[in-house]
Structure 1
């Protein structure tokens, strides 16, 4: 297995971190999704416990999103019914609110909604530790319609209270290779809410900390560990391989989220029966599976319809959206327009130079110098202000950096009602103010 920057094998580094966890925390909870990362983390933790004679059980908590491959259900069932000498399973099947990004007409859905039992993708699991609407423990957090990220944090606090522990560690199987957000969770310079000086931890609340024991593993490390140690894993990954999904793109995610849409169409090839039930479960699933990754949903090179500017095309698309979605999106659209046309936004100096050499025809630009705020930036930046929101800044810099009407139109085409394509992070609660959304994002990270 590969080494860390300090020359320590990632397996050894993980075992050192687990030693700290079991030394400093009197309650350990492991968040298990059914994916490759949480699976290898669980196996590494169990190996550590057996090697060091740790007999006090850990809690393994799984949030079941109902709509998933049968292979994932089989793997979760195997995990939650094995090693019961070392784990207490908590398998949550409750109607929390989960974001849907396959339709502008249904912003969220609720797995295991008792009012829709006749169209559930699969029956409730029958195994130890399953919590459903018919057996919710006393004092359990509110769940019906609560956004899943918020609910997960509340369950973490509930497990801490129930344990009577002084400190609880929530082991989370994230790897920084997967995303910039995960990289920031470990390495951001302003990080202060952690246990002692261990940067691979993050404080959630009094006495409750997230811990990331495998944060420096690469995807190859995961599969080397599974192979060398003969660990069980979700065999869905074998099916992904057979249908040609690249190793780096193999993920277990809700098929109705943005990150799951690329795999949504695979259900038809891998599990046709499950696919048939998905189509009837959430509005827009069939359309997204057919047209996701095509121009119909803003993928690839989009051709501007004849007679339109990007602004007029965006306005046309805007008028086709449901009123509820427009109400949710409008504050963010106004915010980004004010940002770029009133206060000014920071661009890398290279992109700013490109704008100087090739300014847009429809908007004047003021170059206001280096940012004056206290934010630490690794790349030199320059603040620019546009006289009006530009129509199309293609070719002048990274798409994710420059604001224009083209970028907004693509959000509408892609059912991106959260406007992540315009730089807005995912919020945990709808209709909250931007300040609260940013605070929530910091908690998630």
Structure 2
């Protein structure tokens, strides 16, 4: 499938209405994935309004990350009340889910709603907190696994969709998530769809071709409600392109941590107590700070990028260093089998495209990219991780790459 942009003979708003109407015509069960952010809010407004016109019911999925702004929680509650007449089920998820903590090498992952921890806030009474509610739920499962299993469960062997309000213009990762030619589509002329689970459930991205200006133009013209947190961000001087509302501790999301300190100091104090590295992240994770190797990276004098990699690994806690060694060893061995030795550096190696080099590996370590997504890895399933780690430690010895005494 070509990744070239094709100009449509209609504006993005009209195209989105057509996509939503097609979804109602084609798939009998519809769930809207809602985060409280501007994109998913636009999508929920449009889907719910069309559901009213068609006298149809929809469901909504909201993942509550525990450490979230009060404005976001209030906005989600207001949207839930606004469209209660068309919302059949509102799945407000407050279950322990594991995701990345890009602020700490001692706790490179964290669980929201983790049992035995002092939570940042209490979940609402109507939230789903019982682990037995979903038959597929496993303690501390990753967010990615939960969403995939939820789509399969929601379909229940019948045609269904989870509608997701991501835009290709927002980041290269989101562009690739939609434009990748390897994904199975509902049909060749529906590039804004992809299979979700086992052929019964589909992801639909109705606003995938909107730009940020399109989103705010729609809010201005429609007068519909949006998360008031964006007004506070604007007053705090945050550029439009950096206004993000999602789980707070990932490599991209951590850039907005300082806002918690400014807007909600009491919640900020609870977050510092709750999650390792939050306090330093609030100081050093700003959009223009190079502390975490977000854009530019540098190495100490007298070091190559390969030797700097060894120094960084040596400085880490042993479990974290072993985890990275496993990933890096697989990465290096894959290229060696193809007759290619990874160079110290090459042009474009610290951009979005995976161009192999030791400098790129260093950036992964500095960026606390625990699952090494920049090296084209994805998270391991928790249930298999221990066995995977033991097997890879043996493989490193066999390959002679980053052995534990290196």
What TM-score range do you get, normalising by the shorter chain?
A: 0.7 to 0.9
Alpha-carbon shift at residue 199 of structure 1 (Å): 2.0
Alpha-carbon shift at residue 212 of structure 1 (Å): 0.9
Distance 1:213 1:397 in 2: 32
Given that 1:253 and 1:259 are in contact with CA atoms closer than 8 Å, whether structure 2 keeps it comes out as no
Given that 1:311 and 1:391 are in contact with CA atoms closer than 8 Å, whether structure 2 keeps it comes out as yes
Distance 2:200 2:308 in 1: 51
Alignment correspondent of 2:101: 100
Distance 1:264 1:428 in 2: 27
Alpha-carbon shift at residue 37 of structure 1 (Å): 0.7
Partner SS, residue 209 of structure 1: strand
Alpha-carbon shift at residue 11 of structure 1 (Å): 1.3
Alignment correspondent of 1:290: 283
Query: Mapping of 1:79-118 within 5 angstroms?
Result: 79-88=79-88, 89-116=90-117
Alpha-carbon shift at residue 330 of structure 1 (Å): 1.8
Alignment correspondent of 1:30: 32
Alpha-carbon shift at residue 261 of structure 1 (Å): 0.9
Given that 1:31 and 1:172 are in contact with CA atoms closer than 8 Å, whether structure 2 keeps it comes out as yes
Alpha-carbon shift at residue 195 of structure 1 (Å): 4.8
TM-score (norm 1): 0.78
Distance 2:195 2:388 in 1: 24
- The answer to whether the aligner puts 1:168 opposite 2:164 as a matched pair is no
Distance 1:47 1:4 in 2: 28
Partner SS, residue 254 of structure 1: coil
Compared with structure 1, are the counterparts of its residues 409 and 191 closer, same or farther at alpha carbon in structure 2 (3 Å cutoff)?
Answer: closer
- The answer to whether the aligner puts 1:320 opposite 2:311 as a matched pair is no
- The answer to whether the aligner puts 1:411 opposite 2:364 as a matched pair is yes
Alpha-carbon shift at residue 222 of structure 1 (Å): 0.7
Which string of whole-angstrom CA distances, capped at 9 and with x for unpartnered residues, describes residues 342-379 of structure 1?
415xxxxxxxxxxxxxxxxxxxxxxxxxxxxxxxxxxx
Alpha-carbon shift at residue 229 of structure 1 (Å): 0.7
Distance 1:304 1:197 in 2: 48
TM-score (norm 2): 0.85
Partner SS, residue 266 of structure 1: helix
**For 1:180, which of 172, 177, 181 is the aligned residue?**
172
Alpha-carbon shift at residue 188 of structure 1 (Å): 3.2
Given that 1:149 and 1:428 are in contact with CA atoms closer than 8 Å, whether structure 2 keeps it comes out as no
Task: Name which one, 1 or 2, has greater alpha-carbon Rg.
Answer: 1
Query: Mapping of 1:257-272 within 5 angstroms?
Result: 257-272=250-265
**For 2:376, which of 421, 424, 431 is the aligned residue?**
424
Alpha-carbon shift at residue 29 of structure 1 (Å): 0.7
Compared with structure 1, are the counterparts of its residues 189 and 124 closer, same or farther at alpha carbon in structure 2 (3 Å cutoff)?
Answer: closer
Distance 1:309 1:342 in 2: 24
Distance 1:246 1:63 in 2: 26
Alpha-carbon shift at residue 225 of structure 1 (Å): 0.9
Given that 2:97 and 2:143 are in contact with CA atoms closer than 8 Å, whether structure 1 keeps it comes out as yes
Alpha-carbon shift at residue 404 of structure 1 (Å): 3.2
Given that 1:30 and 1:61 are in contact with CA atoms closer than 8 Å, whether structure 2 keeps it comes out as yes
- The answer to whether the aligner puts 1:56 opposite 2:47 as a matched pair is no
Partner SS, residue 91 of structure 2: strand
Alignment correspondent of 1:399: 350
- The answer to whether the aligner puts 1:201 opposite 2:204 as a matched pair is no
Q: Which runs of 5+ in 1 are unaligned?
A: 345-384, 435-445
Count of equivalent residues: 376
Distance 1:154 1:192 in 2: 18
Compared with structure 1, are the counterparts of its residues 96 and 143 closer, same or farther at alpha carbon in structure 2 (3 Å cutoff)?
Answer: farther
Given that 1:25 and 1:166 are in contact with CA atoms closer than 8 Å, whether structure 2 keeps it comes out as no
Which string of whole-angstrom CA distances, capped at 9 and with x for unpartnered residues, describes residues 208-267 of structure 1?
111111111111111111111111111111111111111111111211111211001221
Distance 1:190 1:419 in 2: 21
Partner SS, residue 228 of structure 1: helix
- The answer to whether the aligner puts 1:153 opposite 2:148 as a matched pair is yes
Compared with structure 1, are the counterparts of its residues 35 and 300 closer, same or farther at alpha carbon in structure 2 (3 Å cutoff)?
Answer: closer
